[in-house]
Amino acid sequence: DTEVTQTPKHLVMGMTNKKSLKCEQHMGHRAMYWYKQKAKKPPELMFVYSYEKLSINESVPSRFSPECPNSSLLNLHLHALQPEDSALYLCASSQGPGTGKGTQYFGPGTRLTVL
């Protein structure tokens, strides 16, 4: 089973709202990732969690706040977003953080619209 689930599938929020995106995997993977994908562009890495610790933050604005409550769950808390943050947010997981453990399996994504 190579399934990564994400909720919600779609999200519309105002610039003053606080919302959260959720990601879950039950493959026993120890590395989890958040990507942002704008239309007609490739995914861009935002955060990497390795063994439930934040390992990489690709200079993401603080209005995006990741959280890894346990090895199966990854959240992305959103606050005071801007319209340009509207995008597809993809979660992925891999067996481990290194290249040798490396296939990343992606979830279906959350389509976020910021009004």
Partner 1 sequence: AQKVTQAQTEISVVEKEDVTLDCVYETRDTTYYLFWYKQPPSGELVFLIRRNSFDEQNEISGRYSWNFQKSTSSFNFTITASQVVDSAVYFCALSENSGGYQKVTFGTGTKLQVIP
Contact call for residue 71 and partner 1 (CB under 8 A)? no
Give me the least distance between CB of 107 and partner 1, in Å please: 7
Decide if 47 contacts 34 (C-beta within 8 A): yes
Distances in Å between the Cα of 9 and the Cα atoms of 43, 57, 65, 86, 90 are 17, 24, 19, 14, 11
CB 35 within 8 A of CB 46: yes
Applying CB under 8 A, among 90, 93, 112, 114 the residue interacting with partner 1 is 90
Binds partner 1 by CB under 8 A, chosen from 45, 60, 73, 80: 45
Interaction between residue 43 and partner 1 (CB under 8 A) = yes
CA distance 16 to 19: 10
The nearer residue to partner 1, 27 or 80, going by C-beta atoms, is: 27
Which of 11, 21, 23, 48 touches partner 1 by CB under 8 A?
A: 48
